[in-house]
Every structure is written in C-alpha cells, then in structure tokens.
Amino acid sequence: MHNNQYEQQYKQKVIDFFNSRTSYDNDYTIRRTLPLLELVKLKKGQKVLDIATGTGIIAISVAQIVGSEGKVIGVDFSSGMLKQAQQKIDELGLQNIELIAADAEYIDFDDESFDVIICSTAIVYFTDIPAALRKWYSFLKKGGIVGFSSCSQESCEAPLIIKVCDKHGISLTNINEPTGTPQKCQNLLREAGFKDIQVQSEQFGFYRSVEKAQEWNGGWFHPRENPLLQVSAEQMQELQIEYRQQIEAMATEQGVWYENLTIFTIGRK
C-alpha cells in the first residue's frame, strides 16, 4: 500500500516520465547496464528477479544466459517501458521471461525464491532503500547474489540544479545522495546483511550540445520532498534562465559535459 499522498504523486510523476520515453533504448542506456551483468556472473538454470526492469535491457540478456531451464521475472510500474520490453521479448520468441506491472517496493515473493536479484539504475527512485534491500535479502536463496547500479552524487546535472535553486533560496535534496558514493553503496548492502561485497565504478558521461544541455524543464525527482512543486511560474522561469546561463558558461569546444559516473555494487546472501 502507498503510505502517503506525496509518495503517490511522486510515483505518478516517475511513471509519467518513463511512459513518455517511448524509445528508451540507445547506445548509452544499453552500455551502462552491461557491467552489472558481468559482475553477477549468471549461470544456466538460475532464477533471476530484475527489479524495475524498464524495457528489459538486462532481463532479456539474463534470459538468454540462464536459458530454458532458468527464469527471469521483470517488475516495473511504467506500462510504457514494459510495452517496449514485451515487444522485444515477442520478437526474440523468449519463453522464460515474465513481466509484472507493479510498484516494486510493495511486491512480495516467497523467501528464498531467487538465485540473483538485479536492479539497474533504479534503486534511487525507491522511498525506502534499506527496506527494499532487506526484502531482496529474504527473496534470495542462501548464497544468492544481489546487484544494483546507481549514479554518483555529481551525475545527471543534479549539482547544477541544486546550486541554481540554492542561489534563489530553494533547498533541494539530491535523489542520488543515498547511493551516490561507493562507500554508501557498500554500507547499504552490509547493513542489509550481505557479505562478499564488491563495488566498481565506470564513467558513462558524454558531451552534449549547449542547446540540448539547456533543456531543463524544471523537472526534479525526490521520493520524500520536492520544493520545486511549490514555486510560482515566474520563479521557475528565473531558475531556468539562470540554469541556461550556467550551462552556457560550462560550454567547451566539444559541448557541455554530462557527468554520469555509475557505481555497480554486488553482494552475497
């Protein structure tokens, strides 16, 4: 059950955002999933849960690795993302993937149901990350592997948006903060009971044109608070003007750097 009105509104915004991404897969979204897949070292016949599966980029690769003796369950609450996943599954004729449309924070499975649980660049959207990790711990068989990836605190223009808002007296909390450093990711898995924890990071940043980088529509996600929902249209316009100016000042000959350091964390039950 959703426990408050803010959480429902916030989650609806996340769903709307991902439903609007009607052609999600590209070189960048595919490349940044691969290290997690390599780290968890899957075997034929395994049963795998892909939390917040999106368009199934990881789930489909996993299904091909675990084979017909294995099984993958992909959970996501964006019908638009799941539609893209289902289309790819049908095209490939894969029989060992099941997609479930649900809020992954509230879904339950029997204890010790899975060999591997994966969550690629989605855990930050959860309202209670430690509680989610504890649940995944129970869903895993003894010796099972959990793996998640997350962006560093400096990634995805968040620090610039925070800086611009701060200058206007608006204090924002970075959604990437709880899983934004290797140490924090390691601590979260340790506190949930996992052992043999490994963390690695990889830079997936790239240069964008100034015009593209300036396209901030005032959007901001945070699972517990979003002061930008209360600002007037005039104030939002001021924030966007300032944001565009800051972006312009960051421009180099190659364009504007989009930072995306991704952290990959795995642990064993």
Ligand X SMILES: C[S@@+](CC[C@H](N)C(=O)[O-])C[C@H]1O[C@@H](n2cnc3c(N)ncnc32)[C@H](O)[C@@H]1O
Least CB distance from residue 147 to ligand X, whole Å? 11
Residue 176 binds ligand X (CB under 6 A):
no
| Nearest CB to ligand X, comparing residues 118 and 213 | 118
Query: What are the tokens at 53?
Result: 């599966």
Query: What is the DSSP pairing of strand 256-258 with strand 206-208?
Result: antiparallel
Report the distance separating Cα 92 and Cα 181, nearest Å.
37
Query: Among 70-78, 89-97, 136-144, 235-243, which window interacts with ligand X (CB under 6 A)?
Result: 70-78
| Nearest CB to ligand X, comparing residues 36 and 164 | 36
Query: What are the tokens at 102?
Result: 């649900």
Residue 157, by phi and psi: left (phi above 0), alpha (psi -120 to 50) or beta? left
| Nearest CB to ligand X, comparing residues 151 and 192 | 151
- Residue reference for tokens 């400096």: 154
Least CB distance from residue 103 to ligand X, whole Å? 4
Residue 189 binds ligand X (CB under 6 A):
no
Q: Where are the alpha helices (DSSP H) in the chain?
A: 5-19, 27-31, 34-40, 57-66, 79-92, 129-139, 158-167, 182-191, 210-213, 233-250
Query: Could you tell me the end-to-end alpha-carbon distance of the chain, in angstroms, rounded to an integer?
Result: 27
Residue 54 binds ligand X (CB under 6 A):
yes
Among 48, 49, 52, 140, binds ligand X (CB under 6 A): 52
Among 42, 60, 66, 81, binds ligand X (CB under 6 A): 81
Query: Among 91-99, 121-129, 182-190, 200-208, which window interacts with ligand X (CB under 6 A)?
Result: 121-129
Least CB distance from residue 124 to ligand X, whole Å? 9
**Phi, psi (rounded to 5 degrees) for 81:** -70, -45
| Nearest CB to ligand X, comparing residues 88 and 244 | 88
Beta-bridge mates of residue 199: 265
Residue 53 binds ligand X (CB under 6 A):
yes
Q: How crowded is residue 233: how many other Cβ atoms within 10 Å of its Cβ?
A: 7
Query: Among 40-48, 51-59, 170-178, 261-269, which window interacts with ligand X (CB under 6 A)?
Result: 51-59
Among 97, 105, 144, 222, binds ligand X (CB under 6 A): 105
Query: Among 69-77, 192-200, 244-252, 255-263, which window interacts with ligand X (CB under 6 A)?
Result: 69-77
Residue 178 binds ligand X (CB under 6 A):
no
- Cβ neighbors of 16 (< 8 A, separation 6 or more) are none
What's the 3-state SS for 135-168? Answer: HHHHHEEEEEEEEEEEECCCCCCHHHHHHHHHHC
Site for ligand X in 20-49 (CB under 6 A): 29, 33
| Nearest CB to ligand X, comparing residues 5 and 230 | 5
Among 57, 72, 172, 189, binds ligand X (CB under 6 A): 57
Query: What are the tokens at 21?
Result: 């991404």
How far apart, in Å, are the Cα atoms of 267 and each of 37, 40, 69, 108, 140? 13, 9, 24, 21, 11
Interacting residue ranges for ligand X, rule: CB under 6 A: 14, 18, 29, 33, 52-54, 57-58, 75-78, 81, 103-105, 120-122, 125-126
